[in-house]
């Protein structure tokens, strides 16, 4: 469980930082207060994405495992 939380925290920092930077720069450009706007957007998105990763991550992992179940058994044989 600690590994799952650590993964969520690290992936959350990376993904929300990249996405919020890209979308803010595309939508408003590099205005005078860009850094303040970006950091506010980044922090808000980070607070939203961490619970989402923790709640949805296991379901997505199960789905991926189910999709590739046949592939994994064929690779072992």
Q: What are the tens digits of pLDDT across the range 46-66?
A: 999 988 888 998 899 899 988
Which candidate, 5, 19, 1, places its Cα nearest to that of 50?
5
Do 53 and 12 form a contact (C-beta atoms < 8 A)?
yes
pLDDT at 4: 79
**Residue whose entry in the numeric block shows the structure tokens 């989402």:** 52
pTM, 2 dp: 0.71
pLDDT at 40: 95
What residues contact 31, with CB distance under 8 A and at least 6 apart?
Answer: 37
pLDDT at 17: 94
pLDDT at 77: 54
pLDDT at 76 over 70: no
What residues contact 38, with CB distance under 8 A and at least 6 apart?
Answer: 20, 21, 24
What residues contact 4, with CB distance under 8 A and at least 6 apart?
Answer: 54, 57, 58
């Amino acid at each position: 469980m600690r590994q799952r939380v650590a993964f969520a925290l690290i992936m959350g920092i990376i993904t929300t930082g990249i996405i919020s930077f890209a979308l803010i720069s595309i939508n408003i450009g590099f205005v005078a207060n860009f850094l303040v706007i970006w950091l506010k957007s980044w922090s808000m998105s980070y607070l939203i994405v961490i619970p989402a990763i923790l709640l949805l991550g296991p379901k997505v992992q199960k789905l991926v495992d189910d999709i590739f179940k046949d592939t994994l058994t064929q690779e072992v044989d």
